[in-house]
A and B are shown apart, each in its own frame.
Chain A
Amino acid sequence: MSDFDWAIVWREWPFLAQGLALSALLVVVATAGGLVLGGGLALMRQSSRAWLATPAASYVTVMRSLPLVLVLFWFYFLVPLALGHPVGALASALVAFVLFEAAFYCEIIRAGIASVRVGQTQAALATGMRQAQVFRLIVGPQALRAMVPLLMNQIIIVFQDTSLVYVVALRDFMTAASVVADRDGRPTEMYTVIAVVYLAICFSASKAVEIYQKGHAR
């Protein structure tokens, strides 16, 4: 144990903290963008028009079948090509994350809507309400309530997923630690500490979701 220099973590903490901030940025953008796009995809999938429903379903299926690493490589290659000029790793990573997570958020939103009993829709329609009103007043609020734990869990997963930007050399929390580990030859100290930090954050977040679920059991 005397061979290890644990103080290095303290010394390099500002650098690591910057990485953590980047991870946080990725989570926020991926979730905000993913929810908007995912919501649109969910609407398309619910549509009775095949030209809307089928492309959306195919998109979701493909995105959910691919490793995130491959998706990151795809957009690292594609974004500069599409724009016609070089783009930083951050921009292409943000695009990749939003488009990737949108598929998962789409399925969560659909699950939330599906969890509302069909009888609720029938009862609302039976009083003469139109489909849009039924969704806005009856199905939507109930679906939202059902979705919250699923959304919260997905956000925890997205946070873990951000570590994968290592493969495009973007300096998130994990990659920052690896930079120090390689540069100073201190893998044990760095990786152990970030593992503990990730564990603390994800575990408390999971516990928070559990407590929310218990408090809102229907």
Chain B
Amino acid sequence: MNYRWNWGILLQEPYWSWIWSGLEWTLLISLGSWIVALAVGTLFGIARTVTNRAVRAVADLYVGVFRNIPPLVQLFLWYSVFPEVLPEAVGLWVKRDMPSPQFVTASVAIGLFMAARVAEQVRAGIDAAGLHLMPAALATGLRPWQAYRLIVLPLGLRTIIKPLTSEFLITVKMSSISLTIGVLELTAESRHIENYTFQGFEAFGVATILYLLLGLAVTAIMGLVDRWFGGDRLRRAAP
């Protein structure tokens, strides 16, 4: 294999700045889509456990649609198709005049895809950790919605912080698809460097290391959040 190593090239400009700006965009998209995913996903996850059948059906529909279309297709739908089906003025604003159209579109698209997965975790968590306490709660005279709000929900949400870690990690990895609509995130920049310098090992290597570190950081942070909320004690107490 004919290859000339040159790790030092990564320290040179403009490649050095490319790496860091790429990392920055990856972080921004990851956080942006995670916030969307958590907000929307928690809502739909809770909606899937309520007694009202209509609400459950709507939530099931959401999950069914957004889980079964590949995220890249969803991204293209939001980026290329959505502005076309809006009334002309709004469509134009979304395509051009909205601040950072690629960032917003990517965050929304990835966020809504991940929301469907988060909804599943939330539903599973509420079912497992909270719902079985309903009979006991009702027996003390609480009304169903009170029992749900005071006991089932808080318990259920606390036990899923650990499982949500893997969803957060998936979100970070998913941020890379935003390169298809022009976001110069970490993977895009690493390929950019490889195109210019032909130092593929170095370029992709540094991206690999950064993704690994990112993954460790996410796991560590979620571990702290989980401990702060006492998830460990809850998992041990649950039958």
Contact = CB atoms under 8 A, between A and B. Distances in A.
Given A62-B208, A81-B1, A191 B76 contact: yes
B6 interface: no
Contacts of A195: 69, 73-74, 77
Most chain A CB within a 10 A radius of its CB, from B71, B73, B74, B190: B73
Which of A62, A67, A74: most chain B CB closer than 10 A? A67
B80 A69 contact: no
B211 interface: yes
B39 interface: no
Interface residues of B, number: 38
Interface in B1-55: 1-3
The prevalent SS among residues of B at the interface is helix
Contact of B81 (A188, A203, A206): A188
Given A191-B76, A191-B81, A70 B70 contact: no
Contacts of B72: 163-164, 166, 174
A191 B208 contact: no
Interface string B61-72: 000110111111
A78 B200 contact: yes
Interface string B83-94: 011000000000
A160 interface: yes
Nearest to A175: B72
B194 A73 contact: yes
B76 A73 contact: no
Judged by DSSP, the binding face of A is: helix
B177 interface: yes
A215 interface: no
B81 A187 contact: yes
B180 to A, nearest CB: 6
B3 A81 contact: yes
A69 B73 contact: no
Contacts of A65: 169, 173, 211-212, 215
Contacts of A74: 200, 204, 208
B104 interface: no
B80 A188 contact: yes
Contacts of A70: 176, 187, 190, 204, 207-208, 211
- The 7 A-B pairs of least Cβ separation, nearest first, read A202-B68, A67-B176, A187-B80, A77-B200, A160-B70, A67-B173, A163-B70
Interface of B: 1-3, 64-65, 67-74, 76-77, 80-81, 84-85, 169, 173-177, 179-180, 187, 190-191, 194, 200, 204, 207-208, 211-212, 215
Given A74-B208, A198-B68, 8 more contacts: A65-B211, A66-B211, A70-B211, A188-B84, A192-B81, A195-B77, A198-B73, A202-B68
12 contacts: A65-B211, A66-B212, A69-B179, A70-B176, A73-B190, A74-B204, A78-B200, A160-B70, A167-B179, A174-B70, A191-B77, A206-B67
